C-alpha cells in the first residue's frame, strides 16, 4: 500500500488524538437504519486499527434520530472489557439520556449545544440560554459520577439560516459550556464553511478569553473542501484533539447543507506525511471503511479510501 513521504513541519504537535465519530455522527444521517451488529463490528474494526476514542452513539429519543434507536443495545456490544484503554463516549441531550448512560456504566459523555439560536431551536427544541440550563444538571451529575464530559458546539463558523456567526457569539457559547464543567470544547464547523483564517480568529478569541488550545478540539465538515486545511491551521495553533469520521461518513439530520465529516483516512494520510503520531494504522482504516462502504452499498467519499481501497467492498 502506498504511504506518504514523511516531511515534518517544525512547531506542530508530536501527537494528535483522533476522536473517531463515524459510528455516531457518521451513521446518524443514513437513510436506512444500519443493523446493530454491523455497527458493533464497525467499532471493533476501528479499535483494531488503533482508535483510542470512538464515539459510539447518542441517547436521544428514537423519534428524533431513528438510526440511533439501538443505543443501549450497541453500548452493551462494545468491546469495553477487552479494551479498557479505549474511550467510548456517547451523547446525552438531557438528564434522561444521562440516566440511560449511567445505567450502562458509560464513562464518557458529551452534550451538544449550538452557537446560534435557530439551530438550537431546530436541534434541541429550545434556545441557546435554555439549552445551557438544560445541560447544567447533566454536566454536574456526570462530573460527580467521575465521568469525562465533552461539550460540542455546533455552527461555530456559519449557519444555514443565520449566515456568518460572529466570533464573539461563538466564544460566549463556548465559555458557557466550559463554565458548566465540560472538560473539553469541540468547535464544530457543521456546514463546512470555515477557512484557516477564520479558525485562527476563533482560536485567538478563545485564548484571549482564557481558553487555551489544550481544552479545545476541532470538528470540521468538508462541504467546501476545507477540512484538512482548517485542521492544519488548528494544529499550528496547538490544538491536538481532532474529530474525524472513518470513510468521511456523516452529516447532520437537522442541517441539510452539512455534508460529510473530515475523513479519518484523509486526516491520517496528512498527519503521517507530517510525521505526527496518531497511533492509527492507515491500511487498517482503509480496509475498515472499504468494508463499511460495502455494507452501505455505495463508494466511500474519502479521497484516500478511493485511492487505496476502491471505496467499496
Q: Just list the catalytic residues.
A: 252
Rounded to whole angstroms, how far apart are CA atoms 119 and 117?
A: 6
What phi and psi values does residue 257 have, to the nearest 5 degrees?
-85, 0
Instruction: For residue 77, give the 3-state DSSP assignment.
Output: helix
Rounded to whole angstroms, how far apart are CA atoms 189 and 187?
A: 7
Rounded to whole angstroms, how far apart are CA atoms 155 and 158?
A: 5
Rounded to whole angstroms, how far apart are CA atoms 289 and 193?
A: 25
All residues at 6 or more sequence positions from 80 whose CB lies less than 8 Å from its CB, including other chains: 86, 88
Sort strands 148-154 and 241-244 into parallel, antiparallel or unpaired. unpaired
261 neighbors 222 (Cβ within 8 angstroms): yes
Instruction: For residue 20, give the 3-state DSSP assignment.
Output: strand
Sequence-ordered alpha helix ranges (H) in 183-278: 196-208, 227-236, 264-274
Which among 215, 226, 161, 150 has a CA at the least distance from the CA of 189?
Answer: 226
C-alpha cell at position 215: 481544552
Amino acid at each position: 500500500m502506498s504511504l506518504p513521504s514523511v516531511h515534518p513541519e517544525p512547531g506542530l504537535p508530536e501527537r494528535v488524538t483522533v476522536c473517531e465519530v463515524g459510528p455516531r455522527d457518521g451513521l446518524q444521517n443514513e437513510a436506512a437504519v444500519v443493523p446493530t451488529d454491523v455497527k458493533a463490528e464497525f467499532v471493533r474494526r476501528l479499535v483494531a486499527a488503533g482508535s483510542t476514542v470512538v464515539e459510539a452513539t447518542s441517547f436521544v429519543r428514537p423519534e428524533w434520530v431513528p438510526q440511533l434507536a439501538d443505543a443501549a443495545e450497541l453500548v452493551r456490544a462494545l468491546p469495553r472489557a477487552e479494551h479498557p484503554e479505549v474511550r467510548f463516549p456517547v451523547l446525552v441531550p438531557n438528564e434522561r439520556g444521562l440516566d440511560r448512560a449511567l445505567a450502562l456504566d458509560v464513562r464518557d459523555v458529551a452534550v451538544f449545544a449550538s452557537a446560534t439560536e435557530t439551530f438550537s431551536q431546530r436541534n434541541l427544541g429550545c434556545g441557546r440560554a435554555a439549552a445551557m440550563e438544560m445541560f447544567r444538571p447533566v454536566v454536574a451529575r456526570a462530573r460527580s459520577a467521575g465521568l469525562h464530559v465533552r461539550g460540542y458546539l455546533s455552527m461555530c463558523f456559519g449557519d444555514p439560516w443565520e449566515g456568518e456567526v460572529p466570533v464573539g457569539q461563538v466564544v460566549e457559547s463556548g465559555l458557557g459550556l466550559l463554565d458548566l464543567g465540560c472538560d473539553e470544547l469541540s468547535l464544530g464547523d457543521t456546514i463546512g464553511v470555515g477557512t484557516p483564517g477564520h479558525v485562527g480568529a476563533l482560536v485567538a478569541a478563545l485564548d484571549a478569553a482564557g481558553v487555551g488550545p489544550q481544552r479545545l478540539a476541532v470538528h470540521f465538515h468538508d462541504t467546501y473542501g476545507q477540512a484538512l486545511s482548517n485542521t492544519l491551521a488548528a494544529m499550528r495553533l496547538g490544538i491536538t484533539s481532532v474529530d474525524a469520521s472513518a470513510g468521511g461518513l456523516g452529516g447532520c439530520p437537522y442541517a441539510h447543507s452539512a455534508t460529510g465529516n473530515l475523513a479519518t483516512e484523509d486526516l491520517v494520510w496528512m498527519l503521517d506525511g507530517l510525521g505526527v503520531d496518531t497511533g492509527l494504522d492507515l491500511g487498517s482504516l482503509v480496509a475498515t471503511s472499504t468494508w463499511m462502504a460495502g455494507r452501505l452499498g455505495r463508494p466511500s467519499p474519502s479521497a484516500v479510501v478511493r485511492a487505496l481501497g476502491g471505496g467499496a467492498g
